[in-house]
Amino acid sequence: MAELSEQEILRREAAEKLRELGINPYPASLFPVNTKTHEIIENFPSDNTLFQEVSIAGRIMSRRIMGAASFAVIQDSVGKIQLYIKRDEICPNEDKTLYNVVFKKLLDIGDIIGIKGYVFTTQMGEISIHVKELNVLCKSVRPLPIVKEKDGIIYDAFTNPEQRYRQRYLDLIVNPQYRETFVLRTKMVNTMRHFLDEKGYLEVETPVLQPIYGGASARPFKTHHNTLDMTLYLRIANELYLKKLIVGGYDGVYEFSKDFRNEGMDRFHNPEFTQMELYVAYKDYFWMMNLVEEMVEKIALALHGTTEVKVGDNIINFKRPWKRYTMYEAIEHFTGIDISNMEENELRNVCNKLHIEVDNTMGKGKLIDEIFGETCERELIQPTFIYDYPIEMSPLAKKHRDKEGLVERFEAICNCKEICNAYSELNDPLDQRQRFEEQLELGKRGDTESMVLDEDFLRALEYGMPPTSGLGIGIDRLAMMMTNSHSIQDVLFFPQMKPEIKNNEG
């Protein structure tokens, strides 16, 4: 344990002194809370007969001690409110210990208290609680990084991103404005769930530990099961399991899943992330485009009351219909180059001409993906569907019904980033086996993100899967847009962090 600071020593001593006075600094007894700060602030001005017997709990965020009377501010889960504490009222008998010793000397900013009293408005017009009873609920033995302001300049603000992400509990205390991001994220997920439930689709769960990883092109995390003496992988996607359920007879299934990919980290990628995958029988990718537009528009309206959402410097309008380009149309539109009939060597020449870095492990699909990513994505601010992908880029998508060499796939791109990926699903087991075998060849060339061959999934397809459309939406990335967050770490309570460097203070 690191050496304690002077403040930490004093707070630990205060906890012991509370015990000596017969006050448990960590009581187990129930404290009855009958209201929240926002309910008081919103309702009291219009009816000052309300809240005459309140019981509320929160963390002390500031104090002003003025002899026999004091003011304090407490913060609960939804806001802050001022307290007015009068010594002779919380200590009606001759023993004034609770006020003179406990409140003035042994309680600190950060301590959690429960109070009972009534609401009034001060002469300065501030809604406050006149305290009649005070209870110690939790003694904080580590001081908060309280923000100070002088001459309009903020000091000691807890704003360092790494500290905020590493100590999210502290971030939520001293920067409570960030709590709303996570409230909106939950509301977003609940809106999606309600939307899908109303359409009659079944929410399911599939394995996180898988003997064969599949459903995406990514490097997995690997672990070992001791009892079975076998290698297992954390799932990179849940696609193959969900399609097995379509084989089994369900018309529509979806899952909000935690997936894991052993890849780089940046402001758009975390090795553990959330996505929603949906599979619906007897539908195709054009039907799924319409569903995505409808669902995301509903999310924007539910969260913001409008389809227009501020994302960085842009105003994104999620109102239907969205713009649509085929992938080849988009590349030609933004580069002036038609690559639709090019082979691998010609694509490498295009990459060199456009100064796009590639290597020998990349096949035709990866080269096209690099060209699109480097030249088109940055141009797509408003929600846009990119569809009809080259077959080499999509080992699980159905061949295009009309266009040779393409598959029925789309991605929705918004604010320069993909937010979803969808197919008319490949249900021909012989074609699927051939695609898997082509992926194995790419793996032999050094592509560490190529797919592996899953015999059980192929066996399921051999029993017959109806025509199906599938969708994957990145929940974290969509939450970034819907909450105007700069980084994926801003919408994850506990993002993955590099090992913490210990110092003498922590």
pLDDT in tens, 304-349: 999 999 999 999 999 999 999 999 999 999 999 999 999 999 999 9
What 479-482 contacts at long range (C-beta under 8 Å, 24+ apart), as own/partner pairs, is 479/181, 479/184, 479/185, 479/188, 480/268, 481/309, 481/311, 481/316, 481/414, 481/415, 481/419, 482/184, 482/185, 482/188, 482/299, 482/300, 482/303, 482/304, 482/309
Tell me the two tokens of residue 37.
Answer: 């700060």
As a whole number of angstroms, the distance between CA 159 and CA 174 comes to 10
Which architecture does CATH list for 178-322+382-491? 2-Layer Sandwich (3.30)
Q: 411-470: per-residue pLDDT in tens?
A: 999 999 999 999 999 999 999 999 888 888 877 877 777 778 899 999 999 999 999 999
Question: How high is the mean pLDDT of the chain?
Answer: 92
pLDDT-derived band at 506 (thresholds 50, 70, 90) equals very low
Tell me the two tokens of residue 1.
Answer: 């344990």
As a whole number of angstroms, the distance between CA 183 and CA 186 comes to 5
As a whole number of angstroms, the distance between CA 299 and CA 491 comes to 16
Q: 257-268: per-residue pLDDT in tens?
A: 999 999 889 999
Q: What is the C-alpha end-to-end distance of the chain, expressed in Å?
A: 8
Listed in sequence order, the DSSP H helices in 107-238 are: 161-166, 168-174, 179-198
Average pLDDT score over residue span 127-142: 96
| Domains in the chain: boundaries | 6-144, 178-322+382-491
Average pLDDT score over residue span 165-173: 94
What pLDDT is recorded for position 150?
A: 60
Q: Decide if pLDDT at 505 tops 50.
A: no
Average pLDDT score over residue span 190-205: 98
- Range in 47-51, 132-136, 210-214 the model is least confident about: 47-51
* CATH classification number, 6-144, choose in 1.10.3720.10, 2.40.50.140, 3.30.70.240, 3.40.640.10: 2.40.50.140
List, in sequence order, every beta strand (DSSP E) within 336-478.
384-390, 406-414, 417-424, 468-474
With beta carbons less than 8 A apart as the criterion, state whether 212 and 232 touch: no
Q: How is the chain split among helix, strand and coil, in percent rounded to 5?
A: 35, 25, 40
Domains 6-144 and 178-322+382-491 share a fold: no
DSSP 448: T
As a whole number of angstroms, the distance between CA 129 and CA 117 comes to 6
As a whole number of angstroms, the distance between CA 285 and CA 274 comes to 22
DSSP 349: H
Q: What is the pTM of this model?
A: 0.90
Q: Decide if pLDDT at 366 tops 70.
A: yes
What pLDDT is recorded for position 152?
A: 54
What pLDDT is recorded for position 338?
A: 95
Tell me the two tokens of residue 387.
Answer: 């569809």
